[in-house]
């Protein structure tokens, strides 16, 4: 399956919608798009992974590298990982949890929540949804 990455701007946030399989062959595309956003001065990035049907260790590596890059320039990275759908939850969410790196990321259920858009629930009040546990808890900055 071909990977497709769509870019949109939502206030201070750059949203990269990723669709397809995030693997050894396609993960450099996501890495490049994150680097392009940073080069454009956009340091707050949302990766919408709701359209990702498969993610291997290369994809996880790109997510961790993106987090590191954005934090190094005082930016933020948020992931969209839906709690339901695609056989009861996000494949990416399950992979991140299995590898023990899920806790590194701020996770939201959709773009409005991740960007704090008007009418969004949770994010506007400083809350992030923990998709792994299905709870809403106060958002804390990951170490």
Order of strands across the sheet with 106-108? 4-10, 13-22, 44-55, 76-80, 106-108
CA separation for the pair 93, 113 (Å, rounded): 17
> Number of folded domains in the chain?
1
> Between 119 and 25, where is the model more confident?
25
* Coil, helix or strand at residue 63: helix
Tell me the C-alpha to C-alpha distance, in Å, between residue 2 and each of 67, 84, 139.
Answer: 24, 23, 34
CATH code, domain carrying 92: 3.30.750.24
Is there a domain that residue 143 lies in? no
pLDDT digits (tens, 9 = 90+) for 102-141: 899 999 999 999 998 754 443 333 334 343 333 333 344 4
User: What residue numbers bound the domain in which 21 lies?
Assistant: 4-138
Across the range 82-92, mean pLDDT stands at 65
Across the range 38-52, mean pLDDT stands at 96
- Chain centroid offset of residue 31 CA: 12
Across the range 3-27, mean pLDDT stands at 95
Range name among 16-20, 84-88, 92-96, 97-101 with the lowest pLDDT average? 84-88
């Amino acid at each position: 399956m071909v990977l497709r990455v769509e870019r949109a701007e939502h206030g201070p946030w750059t949203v990269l919608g990723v669709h397809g399989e995030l693997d050894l062959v396609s993960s450099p595309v996501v890495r490049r798009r994150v680097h392009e956003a940073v080069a454009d001065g956009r340091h707050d990035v949302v990766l919408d992974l709701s359209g990702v049907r498969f993610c291997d260790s290369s994809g996880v590596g790109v997510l961790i590298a993106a987090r590191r890059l954005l934090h190094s320039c005082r930016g933020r990275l948020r992931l969209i990982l839906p709690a339901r759908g695609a056989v009861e939850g996000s494949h990416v969410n399950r992979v991140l949890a299995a590898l023990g790196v899920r806790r590194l990321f701020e996770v939201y259920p959709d773009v409005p929540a991740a960007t704090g858009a008007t009418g969004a629930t949770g994010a506007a009040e400083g809350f992030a949804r923990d998709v792994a546990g299905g709870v809403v808890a106060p958002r804390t900055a990951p170490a």
